[in-house]
Structure 1
């Protein structure tokens, strides 16, 4: 690889010790947080809450190789505080061996990314902490995320007042009482 600093100087980078296959993960819950990747992407089709398979194209990697995009959709994660978080615009790339979250894409949705020391902190737009990740020995940030499924809370309503509250668009209980 060559980086041109100016017309008279060329800097050559040669990393003979880099072994990409050593860092391939088969763990589906492991996600790499990366500032160099332009889009969120995964090779695990079952992660998607919804996907538009009409979206296609190619992603080019730093070594010049390409992989085909098989769709784009959203993935629902379960946070440690039991809340759910949706990540939109995730590419489905069937040959991808690692899951990637783009820090740039996270900042586009008003997340705040803070790097200090060997720690990476990501806050949502309400400034609630989403991720606190320690840098690994190979200088990467990765996090294990639990893929969630949407919960239908209405299926568990036993109280008739709550059922009508929901059916009537979350009408206040005094109004429901007046109606009865």
Structure 2
């Protein structure tokens, strides 16, 4: 059994049988509660079928196995704590910004939370967005010219639009006008025999720019060719 410890700057154990590839070192001493000290005399590897942690210190006087949060995070893993469990998450997991209430910055190998940041008057207030109803989301989606919902939330979060309520918009992607506007037309099948029989029944058109000479009286530099 290993105790997940935010205040522990290094992995350490008093049971050398839990470690592999142990080497002897003179790593100094570790201060315990109650004015007790322990001495780091070895270092090894702790692993199972899921993870492997190197540089685990062996301290003979230690009665518990301690897993350092900061050392685990150095291997690009991350932690999630709740009222019943602690999860070690795979590297690459990103927490959405709207989930974050406060942050504890890392100082050396421990994490320190400054509670005064949330109470000072000169700090930036935390904006918690309530979730909009489906009807409100559809309404503002139409008012904003059928903009993507992710872009809608980005504009509101960064105060780039005036007059839109501060809410988190989210509805299923079933907007019919959006789907019609993004759909591709079915290509015409090629014909083995020319069926054109009347003048101007078939037109070839091309629009190109820029040209070196402007139109008389205007500044257009576009040309439409019909053949």
Structure ID, larger Rg: 2
- The TM tier, using the shorter chain, reads 0.3 to 0.5
Asked which structure has the greater RCO (Cα within 8 Å, sep 6+), the reply is: 1
TM-score for the superposition, normalised by structure 1: 0.47
TM-score for the superposition, normalised by structure 2: 0.38
Answer 1 or 2: which has greater strand percent. Answer: 1
